Structure 1
Amino acid sequence: MISYIRGTLAEIEEDRILVDVGGIGYGIYMPGESITRLPAVGTEIKIHTYLNVREDAMQLFGFLTKDDLKVFRLVIGVSGIGPKGGLNILSCLSPDDLRFAVMAGDAKAISKAPGIGKKTAEKLIIELKDKLSIEDTLSRLGDSEEENMSVSSGISEIQSEAVQALTALGYAASEAAKAVKLAAPSPQDSVEDVLKAALKQMISL
């Protein structure tokens, strides 16, 4: 099992990169969203990897963070979604965006990925809704552990009502959920307060 590869970024292609490690070039498939965040060619990088072994090939799939790799593993654990399908999903949606889409039940956003139909997207939502923790996203959005606790406790019902209100206004469920989370409401906020703050976030998304 190859957990990660550290070496020099030698080449960047449309859907994969080449990493030189001691004179050996490793071809690694990566999500398009991750490829856009790579440093310049010639830079030393560390890529977290998943090795897919088939009868006719061995393929490496790479990610910039352990969290990205964790989400990828969960996605390909869904029946009917292989590594290529998982890569397509994470090329269209970042791991955090996928969490928001799953939380909001937004199959439309997930099915935008090539090769992922509506039924497969709905199956992914059902199977991952208890495995993709939105708290992982909140922990990165907050500035401290105390803020994260205040965001994640006691306000889920208000947030849910705010998301429903935004979707009723015509916003995509995943975008609405993301805006509500980014608004970082406090337990004292009313649904109206959360909506106002979320709408400001929607403008900037």
Structure 2
Amino acid sequence: MIAFIKGTVSDLLDDSVILENQGMGYRIFTSSSVLAALSAGDSVTLHTHLNVREDAMQLYGFLTRDDLEVFRQLITVSGIGPKAGIAILSVMTGNDLRYAIMAGDSKSISKAPGVGAKTAQKVILELKDKLKVEDMLNTSEEPEIVSNTGNTELINEAVLALAALGYSQTDAMRAVRQCSIAEGMSVEELLKLALKQMLK
């Protein structure tokens, strides 16, 4: 089994990323939030799940091991396949899902494309004892992304600052990547721009 792949982003597709490693290009399906956090040329580590079907072998990848574990728990639910699991993690983070399950909030889960109210209720019923809010205490893992823009240290500091304010690492990375970074920009200036992105 392939536990993770570390490589360079070669291309970004609508539903997947092409990650180049030692001359080979791996197509890894992932959530829209992960795709938004990446840019071509980035060096990144994706934690992967290999889904084997009769007609295909597909890799699904995530920025943290916790997101991968949440995905694996999701696809154990009756009626939730890899595509639906990715759809759910595209509209909410793993921790958001934990909160939704704790609160019995099927409406938030059913916002995912292709996931109806009944399926969302199944997610809550079948995962309420598996995905707990207490698990968030052990999810301090940081995504491994090295930007190709030359501003890696600045970006990482801004992402950590947003995470300290309570935002998820993935949402923080997405917001920072949407900012226009000027030469000589300080962390404080980038943080202000990123916060504006988060509030849109």
Asked if residue 29 in structure 1 is aligned to residue 29 in structure 2, the reply is: yes
Query: What is residue 119 of structure 2 aligned with on the other side?
Result: 120
Q: Which residues of 2 match residues 47-86 of structure 1 at below 5 A? A: 47-86=46-85
RMSD in angstroms over aligned alpha carbons? 1.8
Structure 2 Cα separation of the partners of residues 140 and 81 of structure 1: 24
Q: Distance in 1 between matches of 2:113 and 2:42?
A: 31
Of structures 1 and 2, the one scoring higher in RCO (CA 8 A, sep 6+) is 2
Q: Residue 18 of structure 2 contacts residue 28 of structure 2 at CA under 8 Å; is this kept in 1? A: yes
Amino acid at match of 2:110: S
Long gaps (5+) in structure 1: 142-181, 183-203
**1:74-153 matches, cutoff 5 A:** 74-138=73-137
Q: What secondary structure does 1:130 align onto? A: coil
Residue 6 of structure 1 aligns with which residue? 6
TM-score by length of 2: 0.68
* 3-state SS, counterpart of residue 70 of structure 1: helix
What secondary structure is seen at the aligned counterpart in 1 of 2:10?
strand
Q: Is the 8 A contact 2:66 2:139 kept in 1?
A: no
Task: Report the Cα offset of residue 73 of structure 1.
Answer: 0.3
Tell me the SS of whatever aligns to 1:36: helix
Q: Distance in 1 between matches of 2:111 and 2:37?
A: 21
Provide, for residues 178-200 of structure 1, a one-character-per-residue CA deviation record: whole Å limited to 9, x for no partner.
xxxx7xxxxxxxxxxxxxxxxxx
Identity %: 53
Cα distance in 1 between the residues matched to 2:37 and 2:43 = 14
Match of 2:17 in 1: 17
Shift of 1:136: 2.4
What letter matches 2:21 in structure 1? V
The superposition leaves residues 49-87 of structure 1 with CA deviations (integer Å, 9 ceiling, x where unpaired) of 001111111111000000000000000000110000100
Q: Distance in 1 between matches of 2:40 and 2:10?
A: 6
Alignment partners' CA distance in 2, 1:140 and 1:23: 33
How far apart are the structure 1 equivalents of 2:58 and 2:139? Answer: 31
Cα distance in 1 between the residues matched to 2:93 and 2:85? 11
Task: Flag as ranges the 4+ runs of structure 1 deviating above 4 A.
Answer: 138-141
Match of 1:41 in 2: 40
SS in 1 for 2:130: coil
d(CA) in 2 for partners of 1:33, 1:105: 23
- Whichever residue aligns with residue 65 of structure 1, its letter is T
Q: Which has the higher helix share?
A: 1
Per-residue CA deviation, residues 108-144 of structure 1 (Å, 9 max, x unaligned), is 1101111111111101101111111202224558xxx
